[in-house]
Structure 1
Amino acid sequence: MARMYLVPEGDNAPTLIEVAKQFGMSKQAVDIASRIVWTVYEEKYQKAKAAASNPRAIPEGWEEVVLVAPKELVREFRVRLAEYQQSNAQDAAKEPALKKPRAPKRTAKP
């Protein structure tokens, strides 16, 4: 619904009222939903833009170092680094997914 309003297809862009009628909602609800989607889009766009402008972004918890060492040690370091990255990726995959807390049940007021 928000996409229909934010990304019109063709020459005729639907109005808030037209989208609201199609989904059986108020125009205010469509507007609020569209603003939420747009805000999330903007946040993700800005993060992606920042990452693209910094191609040497370092992951959190990592450090950048300059290593001057014999070739054999550099090869060994690269192997160990690849193993470390692989084991961390596997550990992350094993972590249970976080569950959303349930909303409290509403009770009718007498």
Structure 2
Amino acid sequence: MKKIAERIKVVKVDEVAKGFGKTIRIGEVEIALFCLNNGSFHAIENRCPHRGGVLVEGLVSGQHVFCPMHDWKIDITTGKVQEPDHGCVKTFDVEVEGDDVYILLY
């Protein structure tokens, strides 16, 4: 049985600069929404799995964000932590329609 997604409009495209992120709060869920330099949007859980660093405050390089607390490198597109560190963060599906950015919650 396929899950139905709740599609939530969160920002306008021009509200997130390329190479940066924005904190999105949906109920109890805190999400880091990033706009990569190629203009694509991706969303991940806003806490590093290591010590809970706020990922949206990290440095974005390519498709990775570096945790501001201990420099863990996390792939924004997959949520996976780069070795030798380990772990992952939850990812969220993102859709862009016109000037609007939506996050899908399942």
Higher Cα radius of gyration: 1
The two structures have a TM-score, normalised by structure 2, of: 0.18
The two structures have a TM-score, normalised by structure 1, of: 0.18
Higher share in helix: 1
Greater relative contact order, per chain length (Cα 8 Å cut-off, separation 6+): 2
